[in-house]
Structure 1
Amino acid sequence: MEAPKWSFLAAAIAAALLLSPLAVIGEEDGAAATKPTVVKMVKGKKVCSKGWECKGLSEYCCNHTISDYFQAYQFENLFSKRNSPVAHAAGFWDYHSFITAAAEYQPHGFGTTGAKLTGMKEVAAFLGHVGSKTSCGYGVATGGPLAWGLCYNKEMSPSQYYCDDYFKYTYPCSPGAAYYGRGAIPIYWNYNYGKTGEALKVDLLNHPEYIENNATLAFQAAIWRWMTPAKKHQPSAHDVFVGNWKPTRNDTLAKRVPGFGATMNLLYGEEVCGKGDDEHMNNMISHYQYYLDLMGVGREEAGPHEVVSCGEQATFDPSSSSSSSSSSSSSS
């Protein structure tokens, strides 16, 4: 008997919200975008829509959305040196591009899975990967080495075109195109540009340069990779981070546990994992913890060493590095 009452109440609330003044994100966010919340009951489940940021009807849109807890000033704090004169992508990356890209995936749980704390941790984790892969920070850099994320949007001195002829029938290289690292989580190789382009409905195979010309698209490509399993039998980085993935006995024996370490395992495999105290792994962990602190969450929420690290984990797929979309940092 409770469901009909709730349905009526939800409809009333939704109607009231639609008639009331629309909530506006603070001007400090750099966007006066509106988020009218609509609540419905569909097959006994509460689903919501929050306008531009969480379109459609999704259970995830009933939770906090990213702009509720991650605003422009926090983006500026995390990437405080990205527009410095010496930064290689000054003027390219901004909060509006990130939040616009994230809006495409929030109805699917990106930053909206579970309670607010989980959402904040996921944003920090995702950006931890982004910051470490696009950083030009070094030990004595002004503001510290962790303040230099989003310094790059492309590989500066590519050593090759990253064209793999093995995929000439499925993802043929476009004449004159170079598939070097570009983006927030750099994409490498023709087949990865092809797969990403298919998912985003953008012709990246013939125009890989689109990634370095459009910050929103660059963030979208990175979030798509975070949300999407690389192979059918594997979880996504999102799944292992937010708790959607339940380790099998084999995973437990391989010391793979849910958390930030498993996201590195899925995204980079043997490039950084199963190698003990690896420098690149530690750099990603440091960015994640630094961002947790700056977002007001605190690095202690990252969890114990075996959750944060993948140094002792066997890789999900021993050949994962060969198909990884980022074979090196874009700052190389």
Structure 2
Amino acid sequence: MLSKSGRGLSLVRSAILLAVAALVATLFTAPAAQAADGQITGLAGKCVDVAGANNANGTPVQLYDCNGSNAQRWSNSGDGTLRALGKCLDVSGNSTADGALVHLWDCTGGANQRWVVSGANDIVNPQANKCLDVQDRNSANGARLQIWTCSGQSNQKWNAPSSGGGNPSPGGFVVSESQFNQMFPNKNPFYTYGGLNAALSAYPGFTGTGSDTVRKQEAAAFLANVSHETGGLVHVVEQNTANYPHYCDASQPYGCPAGTDKYYGRGPIQLSWNFNYKAAGDALGIDLLNNPDLVQNDSAVAWKTGLWYWNTQSGPGTMTPHNAMVNGAGFGETIRSINGSIECNGGNPGQVQSRIDKYTQFAGILGVETGRNLSC
């Protein structure tokens, strides 16, 4: 039996424990309450904020300490827009350039007001295929928000609660593993479905833009061109070894540090030339100029180089293959962007038809129509 002093100490300990428990409960329930208010948190735990809680057109959108105000409550109306204070998060000037600032504006339904939250916590404007980004990685109050090429850096990562702040990409890649295997029954084991899925975060707008039909058409178009380039995902590297020394452009200031014969075609779209290895590596944050073998040794890296070309390069065409599919230009324009100088305008109709046949087959597997303008 405790003495009076023992009982007194016990009561004090109990009071302390209850106080600590209450404090812990407060600390751990506060974020949930903030999420319920539609806050979008990012760098340094700060919030996406409308400057001065002003809803005038052109009001800057910035990073700021979370305060629970209406200037930090973002809702998803179901149409892909992000709304606060009755207006939309908008890319200034309908720009698709790196560094284009975002602000508040009347909701117009324009593509510069569409946003997708990826599974990797990026908030992407599909028209630009770029990420919502904190300017200069600055975590100070008032740091402006902009769009920038998706890099995976912390200044592009956002916690957007389900009650507001996004239009989450539904269920991942539109091609299932069984459909992928049906498309490529004889594929090289190097080209894994897992590697492709791991690469998708590099370009969240890919097969994440537009209607379900458009998303599936883009997936079928990409995989059809990839199939053509690799013989059905059989070839990881270019087969004509005699060409290997030809892909070093010595006039580039960085030269060919891995060796003059190391920039031959590799991967699903057969990345070649030292300047393309450098450009792709710079975009992906991987040193491919000095380590080109990564494209034939790492499945995810190989798929990322294919997605880099598809989403950012127009080649001999006038638009990227991604834009050709999401803007309705048609499958034929993807051919032009990949190999149009050789195949299009009657250059090699047999090769063009081979690509079209594969696209038609893959679209059928995905249960979607092919759309118009199949040829180039």
**Aligned with residue 293 of structure 2, among 206, 209, 214:** 209
Alignment of 1:127-142 (within 5 A): 127-135=223-231
3-state secondary structure, aligned to 2:238:
coil
* Cross-structure match for 1:123: 219
**Aligned with residue 241 of structure 2, among 141, 158, 165:** 158
3-state secondary structure, aligned to 1:69:
coil
Change (3 A) 1:163 1:51: closer
Change (3 A) 1:187 1:68: closer
3-state secondary structure, aligned to 1:265:
helix
Instruction: Please tell me whether residue 242 in structure 1 is matched to residue 286 in structure 2.
Output: no
| 8 Å Cα contact 2:229-2:270 kept in structure 1 | yes
Corresponding letter in the other structure for 2:363: L
Measure, in 2, the Cα distance between the counterparts of 1:59 and 1:80: 35
Measure, in 2, the Cα distance between the counterparts of 1:294 and 1:114: 20
Per-residue CA deviation, residues 198-233 of structure 1 (Å, 9 max, x unaligned), is: 211222122211100011111111111111134799
**Aligned with residue 290 of structure 1, among 349, 355, 361:** 361
Change (3 A) 1:269 1:59: closer
Corresponding letter in the other structure for 1:123: A
Measure, in 2, the Cα distance between the counterparts of 1:177 and 1:66: 42
3-state secondary structure, aligned to 1:205:
coil
Measure, in 1, the Cα distance between the counterparts of 2:88 and 2:274: 45
Measure, in 1, the Cα distance between the counterparts of 2:347 and 2:171: 34
| 8 Å Cα contact 2:324-2:334 kept in structure 1 | yes
Alignment of 1:166-315 (within 5 A): 166-175=250-259, 177-230=261-314, 234-243=318-327, 258-275=329-346, 278-297=349-368, 301-304=369-372, 307-310=373-376
Identity percentage over the alignment? 28
Change (3 A) 1:172 1:259: same
Corresponding letter in the other structure for 1:41: R
Instruction: Please tell me whether residue 105 in structure 1 is matched to residue 164 in structure 2.
Output: no
Measure, in 1, the Cα distance between the counterparts of 2:308 and 2:261: 23
TM-score by length of 1: 0.64
* Cross-structure match for 2:119: 51
Measure, in 2, the Cα distance between the counterparts of 1:233 and 1:212: 27
| 8 Å Cα contact 2:217-2:363 kept in structure 1 | yes
| 8 Å Cα contact 1:164-1:189 kept in structure 2 | yes
| 8 Å Cα contact 1:190-1:205 kept in structure 2 | yes
Gaps of 5+ in 2: 1-34, 40-74, 77-81, 90-113, 127-165
3-state secondary structure, aligned to 2:227:
helix
Instruction: Please tell me whether residue 81 in structure 1 is matched to residue 186 in structure 2.
Output: yes
Measure, in 2, the Cα distance between the counterparts of 1:121 and 1:234: 20
Corresponding letter in the other structure for 2:206: F
Change (3 A) 1:171 1:194: farther
C-alpha RMSD of the superposition: 2.9
Measure, in 2, the Cα distance between the counterparts of 1:208 and 1:308: 34
Corresponding letter in the other structure for 1:156: Q
Measure, in 2, the Cα distance between the counterparts of 1:234 and 1:152: 28
Corresponding letter in the other structure for 2:351: H
The 10-residue stretch of structure 1 (71-80 or 122-131) with the greater mean CA deviation from structure 2: 71-80
| 8 Å Cα contact 2:229-2:269 kept in structure 1 | yes
| 8 Å Cα contact 2:220-2:362 kept in structure 1 | yes
3-state secondary structure, aligned to 1:212:
helix
Report how far residue 276 of structure 1 moved: 6.0
Measure, in 2, the Cα distance between the counterparts of 1:279 and 1:233: 19
The 10-residue stretch of structure 1 (112-121 or 151-160) with the greater mean CA deviation from structure 2: 151-160
TM-score by length of 2: 0.57
Report how far residue 166 of structure 1 moved: 4.5
Report how far residue 13 of structure 1 moved: 8.8
Report how far residue 102 of structure 1 moved: 1.4
Report how far residue 177 of structure 1 moved: 4.5
Report how far residue 167 of structure 1 moved: 2.7
Corresponding letter in the other structure for 2:299: A
**Aligned with residue 175 of structure 2, among 60, 70, 73:** 70
Measure, in 1, the Cα distance between the counterparts of 2:374 and 2:36: 44
3-state secondary structure, aligned to 2:242:
coil
Per-residue CA deviation, residues 134-172 of structure 1 (Å, 9 max, x unaligned), is: 11xxxxxxxxxxxxx111111234113233344342443
| 8 Å Cα contact 2:199-2:300 kept in structure 1 | yes
Change (3 A) 1:51 1:266: closer
Instruction: Look at both structures and tell me which one has the larger radius of gyration over its CA atoms.
Output: 2
| 8 Å Cα contact 1:66-1:111 kept in structure 2 | no
